[in-house]
Chain A
Amino acid sequence: MVISKKPLQFILVVTMALMPFISTANPTNDSTKVESHATTKATKVVHEKEHSEPQDEKSRIKEFINHHLLDSHSFYFNANEETGEHYGFSLPIILWDNGFQVFSSSKFHNGEEVAEHNGNYYVLHHEKIYKTDASGKLNEEHGHPTNVRPLDLSITKSVIGIIGIALLMFFLFTGLAKSYGKNGGIAKGPGRFFEPLVIYIRDEMAIPNIGEKNYKKYMSYLLTVFFFIFFLNILGLTPFGFNITGNIAITFSLAILTYIITTFTANKNYWSHMLWMPGVPVLLKPFLALIELLGTIIKPFSLMIRLYANMLAGHVVLMSIIALMFFFKSWIGSPLSFALAFFLSILEILVAFLQAYIFTMLTSLYFGAGNEEHHHEEAHH
C-alpha cells in the first residue's frame, strides 16, 4: 500500500469516538412527544384496545433494557415508537391446552390484542401466555394475573439462539474433525482456531482432574459445555438482544446435566468415601454424610447461580450504561457513557470466556472427584 495504515486507523478510532454525539440529534423537548401520542390515540382507537405507548424516558429505557434481558415470543430488532411497528419476524407459539395449539405470535400484535385460536382466547402479559375469555380479561391478584396458563412450549428467541448455536457448533467441529483426515494431521478451515482450546481442555482440565484412565468418556460433555457456554455468552454481546445464559432455566439444565453425570458415573469409592468417610471419628460420620450429600446438591447449584448471575449482571449493567448515553443528551455525558460502555463490553468478552472456563473446570473437578482411586490410608487405627 502506498499510504501507511496509521492515519487510517487514527481516522477510524476518531470516528468511533465521536459516534455518541448522534444521541444529541434527538429532540429534547417533550411537547412533540405528547402531541404525537394524542394523534396516534385518535387514529388507533378504532381497531385496537387502549394500550398506552410508553412515552416518557424512563419507561422507554426500561422497555429497551427488558427487550435485551428477557426472552420474547417474537424476534424483532427494533421498534419504531411512534407507529408501534416492530421490524423483525414473529415466532410460532406452541401451546399444550387439550391438544397442541400452534399459531403465530403475530396474532398477539405485540402484546396488545387477544389471540383467538380454535375457540380459545389467549392474552400475552409480560411475555407469559394466559387463557382468558373473548374480552381479554385478566383476573389480577397482588399484581399478578391468576388466569390459567397453558403449557408453553413455543419457539422463543432463546430457542432460536440455541438451535443456531448448536448448528454452528456442529458444522464447525465436524468440519474440523474431517479436515484432519484430509490434510494428514493438520487442521484446516475455520475450526482450527478452536483447536488449541480443545487441546487445553483435554490436557489441562480433563487429564489432571479425571486421570489418564477414564477421561475420554467425559471429554465430549466437557467440550460441548465449554463451547456451548462460550458461544452463547458471546452471542449475548451482539446487538440482537439475546440473553440466553442469563436465563436461569438454561443454566439450571446445564447444572442438572452435570449433577446427573456425576451421580451416575461415580465409582464405588466416591459413595463409600462420602457416606462413611475414613479417618474420621465414628460419631461424626453421620453428620459428615449429611453434609456431603448436601454438598452434592450445592455444587451444581452454585454452578447454576454463578453463570446466571455473572451473565445477567453484566447485561444489566451494560444495557443501563448504554441507555444512560441517551438519557444524558449532552456533549460530555454521552461520550463518557459511550467510553464506559465500550470498555465494559471488552470486559464482558473476557467474562464470557472466563465463565465458560470456570464452569468446565469445576465440572471436570466434580467428575474427577467421582472417579478417584482408592488411596491406602497411612494411619489406620
Chain B
Amino acid sequence: MQIPEIVGAGLIVIGAGLGIGKIGGSAMDAIARQPEASGKIQTAMIIAAALIEGIGFAALFAK
C-alpha cells in the first residue's frame, strides 16, 4: 500500500468516526432530556449510524 492510500484510509475512518460520534452524542443528549422517548431515539440513531458506516465501508473498499 502506498502512502496516499494509507492517508486516504485514515481520513475515511476519521470522517466516519466523527459522524457517528456526533450522532451518538446528540442521541444521548436527547435521551437525557426525555427518557421516555429513548426507544425511538435509539432506533433512529442505529439507522443513521448504519448509513454512515455504509459509506465508510464503501469508500474503504473502493480504494
Contact = CB atoms under 8 A, between A and B. Distances in A.
Contacts of B58: 302, 305-306, 309
A313 B57 contact: yes
A305 B61 contact: yes
Bin the interface of chain B by size.
Answer: 10 to 19
Interface string A302-332: 1001100110110000000000000000000
Interface stretch (B1-9, B17-25, B26-34, B47-55): B47-55
A306 B50 contact: yes
A358 interface: yes
B57 A358 contact: no
A222 B63 CA distance: 32
B53 to A, nearest CB: 7
Nearest to A313: B57
Nearest to A357: B46
B54 to A, nearest CB: 3
B54 A354 contact: no
Contact of A306 (B46, B54, B60): B54
Contacts of A361: 47
A310 B47 CA distance: 14
B61 A358 contact: no
12 contacts: A302-B51, A302-B54, A302-B55, A305-B61, A306-B50, A306-B58, A309-B54, A310-B53, A354-B46, A357-B46, A358-B50, A362-B47
Interface of B: 43, 46-47, 50-51, 53-55, 57-58, 60-61
Complex A-B, nearest 5 residue pairs according to Cβ-Cβ distance, in ascending order: A309-B57, A306-B54, A358-B50, A305-B58, A309-B61
